[in-house]
Chain A
């Protein structure tokens, strides 16, 4: 009998949520797009793989993928309509990207939209959250596996690669839901857009990375550009950060990626942070003072030592401008709130502070230490 009990308990190992259903019997959603209009209508778009031969070509919206859209006066209506319009049951357990159109991401009930998406049964919580500067439907339609066969794998690798380079944040639905309005660090969402492949955008002569997607001077197989971040203010998306600004955020967070800056002589410098920046918040004074201390290491080509003082001044100036921008967007993307909350014992005391107002009005002080290394 104890063997029976042991077998019964080991059966629990098989209960990991998988179900034996044929691929032809359901639609596996890879990309979910959410658009909104001024009349509170929601348009949902899903991109699903199709094994049908006629959908393999370009006519199918990409190699072997189908697009379904449905609208309604609110998320629940739109989802119900989408489910009724789809020829098979929708399975959201493999979603890789949730794409919000600009208008949907700026809605006051953006958090509610995210919660409703998370509440879809078996929804994949680790799907990346992308804010698209245009319509999410067009963005989803343009998604295709330019490399490899599966869009799911292609999206995974592309998103991971992009975040690894430091130009987009590493964010998913779970973290967004956790931090948007209830966390101590406002989430930065991935910013995407459709680039015009035939006409490269105008180049910023000062810094080519200081640009938003859709304007990048580049060409490639894919029209999709993911570059920069969408800042949130605890309620919804409040503005955009360029790729360079996002790279600065990565640098301050001690990310592995190197920030590349160009000297006046044109020699590139690779800057990495030794550790995450030390953030402090002096709340006793009015206005409060937010201080950032960052220690960087600069690698320069042999024979071209940089002007360390000039570089320090550049980094301090850029960081200050970035902080000012984040304050204007009411987005604490750096996490000063984490430093401030440590000074309080209870939630009641913390709430009495009114952090959002304090943050927006605070003065900033940036101290960057630069160590130069050859090679």
Chain B
């Protein structure tokens, strides 16, 4: 059992909360990158960046809703299962993509064994980690991930063509809209820091700025991919791992390749850890614990193993189908306390 949050002084708690939003932003970027490769490139193709922009209102609304819910006290125990499921889904998608990238980079690798090794190492690490570890690591990771991402984007500039953005609407406005709805699922867990125990109340701007920047990075990633590949080629038959490393594949530069591979792996690892740790924290809330139980993180990590190790088409299709429902689950978790309170107030009025 780890230390409880209320022991923190106010300034430390505010710093922790800011780091939690940074972690949330990095997770959002990771989920956007996975969403682009898993669904958007194939179904929406080059106008994928428009779908990312379309999904912007979702994290904004969820953050505002979650802020109101957090103002009413801790999340009711039964509702804790909803954000836990959302975070676990995030982790599952990130782990699935991580294994796909490993398979692409090292075709000779024994993937089930590697996935099991990752699961064991991450499970052990997360099981014993302090609740401050990941948020603080996120602050460091911003400096380790963003410059390489910008470097790879700059390397890609010489290998694309502006005409690849055309036809501007790709396969049509319906596909872009569908992509926006799908992508909103990637943004569902962005509001988690409001719902997690131990977070300080920050002005909405402090919470939303990193999230919106993360979505902007996601849109830029989609735009760079569109710059590199025309509409048919981007939506062509490619593996998830290849698409995750699209910039590295299309840019014949060794530094770009190394930075892209290392950056993608680190981002996905961080997303897996964040998802599992948050899911464990919400599960702790469900069981009435004030802090997240480490054993839960280790156990949840095991749940991710089969999908990552097997990498089959039915599993991928299931993940594609399930991913957008994250928005519904998170919206339900954030809105239920507000609706419950309103219902209670109107009930009292009727009684009076």
Contact = CB atoms under 8 A, between A and B. Distances in A.
B261 A9 contact: no
A121 B102 CA distance: 13
Contact of B163 (A1, A174, A341, A348): A341
Given A2-B129, A2-B136, A8-B121, A17 B166 contact: no
Interface string B100-140: 00100111100000000000011001101110111011001
Given A1-B129, A17-B106, A341 B167 contact: yes
A19 B107 CA distance: 11
Contact of A125 (B107, B249, B270): B249
B269 A184 contact: no
Interface string B160-182: 01011011111110000000000
Contacts of A179: 230, 233
Nearest to B228: A178
B155 interface: no
A15 B106 contact: yes
A9 B133 contact: no
Contacts of B258: 16
Contact of A347 (B164, B231, B257, B273): B231
A308 to B, nearest CB: 32
Contacts of B166: 184, 338, 341-342, 344
A8 B122 contact: yes
A38 interface: no
B333 interface: no
Contacts of A12: 262, 265-266, 269
A239 interface: no
Given A9-B137, A178-B229, A347 B167 contact: yes
A6 interface: yes
A348 B136 CA distance: 49
Interface residues of B, number: 48
B125 to A, nearest CB: 5
Contact of B266 (A9, A122, A346): A9
A9 B269 contact: yes
B172 A346 contact: yes
B130 A184 contact: no
A8 B269 contact: yes
Contacts of B14: none
B172 A348 contact: yes
Contacts of A347: 167, 170-172, 231
B167 A6 contact: no
B346 to A, nearest CB: 47
B33 to A, nearest CB: 15
Max chain B C-beta neighbours (<10 A), residue from A1, A185, A335, A344: A1
B236 interface: yes
Given A2-B137, A6-B140, A345 B168 contact: yes
A268 interface: no
A174 B252 contact: yes
Given A1-B125, A172-B252, A182 B269 contact: no
A6 B129 CA distance: 11
Interface in A317-349: 335, 337-339, 341-342, 344-349
A12 B268 CA distance: 10
Given A178-B229, A342-B163, A2 B261 contact: no
Interface string B219-262: 00000000001111100100000000000011010000110011
A121 B125 contact: no
Main SS of the interface on chain B?
A: helix
Nearest to A177: B233
B266 to A, nearest CB: 5
A346 B167 contact: yes
Interface in A160-192: 172, 174-175, 177-179, 181-185
Max chain A C-beta neighbours (<10 A), residue from B163, B229, B233: B163
Interface string B64-99: 000000000000000000000000000000000000
Contacts of B265: 12, 15
Contact of A5 (B105, B125, B159, B231): B125
B163 A16 contact: no
Contact of A126 (B134, B164, B168, B252): B252
B105 A15 contact: yes
B137 A5 contact: yes
B133 A2 contact: yes
Nearest to B273: A5
Contacts of B168: 345
Interface in A190-215: none
Nearest to B46: A347
Contacts of B140: 6
Given A16-B257, A178-B230, A349-B167, A185 B125 contact: no
A346 B134 contact: no
Contact of B230 (A5, A10, A126, A182): A182
B43 to A, nearest CB: 12
A183 B137 CA distance: 42
B130 A350 contact: no
Nearest to A341: B166
Given A6-B137, A183-B232, 7 more contacts: A8-B125, A9-B141, A16-B257, A19-B108, A174-B249, A181-B232, A182-B230
Interface of B: 102, 105-108, 121-122, 125-126, 128-130, 132-134, 136-137, 140-141, 159, 161, 163-164, 166-172, 229-233, 236, 249-250, 252, 257-258, 261-262, 265-266, 269-270, 273
24 contacts: A2-B136, A4-B125, A4-B129, A5-B125, A5-B129, A5-B134, A6-B137, A8-B121, A8-B269, A9-B137, A9-B141, A15-B105, A16-B105, A17-B105, A19-B106, A172-B252, A174-B252, A184-B163, A185-B161, A338-B161, A341-B166, A344-B167, A345-B168, A348-B172
